[in-house]
Amino acid sequence: MAAPPNSTTFSGDVWAELRLADARDVPHIHRLTHQMAEFELLTDLFAATEELLTTTLFPSPTPPPFTSFTALILDLSPSPIVPDASSTIASRRLDLSASPLADPEAAAFASPRGGGRVTAGFVICFPNYSTFLSKPGLYVEDIFVRAPWRRRGLGRMMLSAVAGRAAELGMGRVEWCVLDWNKNAIDFYEGMGADVLPQWRICRLAGAALDKYKGSQEEAAGGKAAE
């Protein structure tokens, strides 16, 4: 089958690197997040902007990785990647000799690191806490791989790297959510050893429901003072 027009074809050896993101990656993070919202049929909830992503994910000074909001980027390169001790979280080599891969968005997702790299996915995670375990953990807010690069073991590489870092830091667990209709993802997570917990439900205050509580602390303090 012919590759789509304007696509870039990757074949033979390709190198994958999961690395710490920085502010230069924000345009790609924004586009990847929108693609994820499209896949999850949740574009009506998408309100992210590049400005908000920059200020919330990459404040100055930036906290150490995995102690606050941590963004990781998955880059693919047609040439070997030399791991950088300050930013590389995981890396591996893919052999695409038997199944070359056409990426129609390679140019749009050219990595800011250069060298012919393309950005293929991302992870956002941050610390949480379990009183039952009396230990911190990591919550994975987002994990996403662009469509051409799926089913290549890259999602497993990304989640394994996050879980490995949590274990190395002595954390108690790693948690995330999955949509109940996404059977492929559920099967994948269970295959990695994760428990899917049907007895729990997500509770959320957002938008107007959250805004109505503005000033509630002042009201409570005022009522207490009047007693």
Task: Return the pLDDT at 5.
Answer: 61
* CB atoms closer than 10 angstroms to residue 30: 18
User: If you average pLDDT over residues 51-61, what whole number do you get?
Assistant: 97
Task: Return the pLDDT at 215.
Answer: 86
Domain boundaries, the chain: 8-206
User: If you average pLDDT over residues 117-133, what whole number do you get?
Assistant: 98
User: If you average pLDDT over residues 11-27, what whole number do you get?
Assistant: 98
Residues ≥6 apart with Cβ < 8 Å to 150: none
Task: Return the pLDDT at 72.
Answer: 98
Could you identify the residue written with the tokens 């996403």?
144
User: If you average pLDDT over residues 35-44, what whole number do you get?
Assistant: 98
Task: Return the pLDDT at 222.
Answer: 61
Task: Return the pLDDT at 3.
Answer: 54
One-letter amino acid for residue 106 of the chain: A
User: If you average pLDDT over residues 95-116, what whole number do you get?
Assistant: 97
For the cut 90, the answer to whether the pLDDT of residue 73 exceeds it is: yes
User: If you average pLDDT over residues 59-75, what whole number do you get?
Assistant: 96
91 beta partners: 17
Task: Return the pLDDT at 7.
Answer: 84
71 beta partners: 124
Share of the chain above pLDDT 70, in %: 93
Task: Return the pLDDT at 146.
Answer: 98
The structure tokens listed for 65 are: 């990785």
For the cut 80, the answer to whether the pLDDT of residue 48 exceeds it is: yes
Task: Return the pLDDT at 216.
Answer: 76
For the cut 60, the answer to whether the pLDDT of residue 204 exceeds it is: yes
55 in Cβ contact with 125 (< 8 Å):
no
Share of the chain above pLDDT 90, in %: 91
Check whether domain 8-206 has CATH 3.40.250.10, yes or no: no
Residues ≥6 apart with Cβ < 8 Å to 122: 21, 25, 28, 29, 32, 33, 71, 72, 73, 74, 142, 143, 144
Query: Annotated catalytic, 213?
Result: no
pLDDT band at 179 (very low <50, low <70, confident <90, very high): very high
